């Protein structure tokens, strides 16, 4: 595999499902823009206002999700439960499953792992983006979140975590509900970007890349004028959730958009290389609004 490869070069788009699990996941899903070849799916225990504009829904009881999600797909290779069959029905004929949710609750955390289990049985590539509770929410919720994270890392190819504690660095003056909405919009960006650019030829190499790393981090930045590429990459690497040292990044998925995509892409990749010289890169150019003069860079970094 080359040390840098561009996503979405082929004509055939990957068939992507973006699945929001629980209240947090459904709220994030509302911010996701999906192309025609992608679908959005809400998984919850009851209909909630956050699911209003999501027509594809799966309702499952929360009580049994932990036990079902914990079943090893090697030991229990078929889907025996009604919950698994419901999820499987909406995931059929997909290539990539992007799973969104919050750890620490009874439905979202276990639901994400159950979706991951079903997707793995179906043979799909999987990436989860998950929030981690505030420290002030107490040790019991944090311990539950840690147990759910450990299971989720076994059920999916890659997990990107977003600590709620670090949300206070970027939204300290906002009411909590608006701060969570801001985080949801941030988490929706990589889900929207990946669902837009991935080709079917990208699925296998991306899955191998995701599986080589236990911890993934996300950063995003934007820059204007002459040094826009430098500023955008620097902001991405110093984002609150990009907690690893740049030189520790071994794999990176880079999504970029700018007014001058050709020239700026080369400079953005050069700036990434300066910071993470040993990283294997998968990169893509996203569509750019005509009235936006910024270069915008998203980095999923694996350490």
Q: Report the number of distinct structural domains present in the chain.
A: 2
Q: 286 and 166, same structural domain?
A: no
Tell me the per-residue pLDDT of 198-220, one tens digit each, with 9 for 90 and over: 999 999 999 999 999 988 999 99
User: What pLDDT does 260 receive?
Assistant: 86
Structural domain harbouring 285: 216-302
Q: Using H for helix, E for strand and C for coil, what is the string for 96-143?
A: EEEEEEECCCCCHHHHHHHHHHHHHHHCCEEEEEEEECCHHHCHHHHH
Q: 43 and 174, same structural domain?
A: yes
**Given pLDDT bands bounded at 50, 70 and 90, which one contains residue 165?**
confident
Tell me the per-residue pLDDT of 57-91, one tens digit each, with 9 for 90 and over: 999 999 889 999 998 777 667 787 999 999 999 99
User: What pLDDT does 92 receive?
Assistant: 94
Residues 6+ away with beta carbon under 8 Å from 92: 122
User: What pLDDT does 75 receive?
Assistant: 62
Give the end of a domain, one of 172, 188, 211. 211
Angle of CA points 153, 150, 120, to nearest 5°: 35
| pTM exceeds 0.85 for this model | yes
Task: Please report whether residue 266 resides in a domain.
Answer: yes
**Alpha carbon 253 to its chain's center:** 11
Give the end of a domain, one of 184, 211, 238. 211
């Amino acid at each position: 595999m080359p040390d840098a490869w561009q996503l979405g070069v082929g004509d055939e788009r990957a068939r992507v499902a973006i699945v929001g699990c629980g209240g947090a996941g459904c709220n994030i899903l509302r911010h996701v823009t999906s192309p025609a070849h992608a679908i959005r799916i809400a998984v919850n225990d009851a209909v909630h206002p956050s699911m209003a504009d999501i027509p594809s829904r799966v309702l499952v009881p929360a009580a049994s999700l932990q036990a079902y999600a914990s079943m090893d797909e090697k030991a229990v290779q078929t889907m025996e439960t009604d919950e698994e069959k419901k999820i499987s029905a909406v995931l059929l004929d997909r290539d990539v499953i992007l799973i969104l949710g919050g750890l620490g609750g009874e439905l979202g955390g276990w639901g994400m792992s159950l979706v991951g289990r079903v997707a793995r049985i179906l043979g799909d590539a999987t990436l989860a983006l998950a929030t981690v509770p505030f420290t002030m929410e107490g040790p019991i919720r944090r311990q539950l979140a840690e147990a759910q994270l450990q299971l989720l890392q076994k059920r999916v190819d890659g997990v990107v975590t977003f600590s709620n504690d670090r949300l206070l660095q970027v939204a300290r003056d906002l009411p909590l509900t608006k701060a969570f909405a801001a985080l949801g919009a941030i988490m929706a960006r990589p889900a929207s970007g990946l669902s837009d650019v991935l080709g079917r030829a990208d699925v296998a190499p991306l899955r191998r890349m995701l599986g080589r790393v236990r911890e993934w981090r996300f950063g995003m930045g934007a820059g204007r004028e002459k040094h826009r590429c430098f500023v955008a990459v620097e902001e991405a690497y110093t984002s609150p959730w990009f907690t690893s040292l740049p030189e520790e990044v071994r794999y990176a998925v880079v999504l970029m958009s700018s007014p001058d995509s050709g020239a700026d892409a080369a400079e953005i990749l050069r700036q990434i290389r300066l910071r993470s010289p040993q990283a294997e890169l998968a990169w893509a150019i996203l569509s750019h609004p005509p009235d936006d003069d910024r270069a915008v860079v998203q980095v999923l970094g694996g350490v």
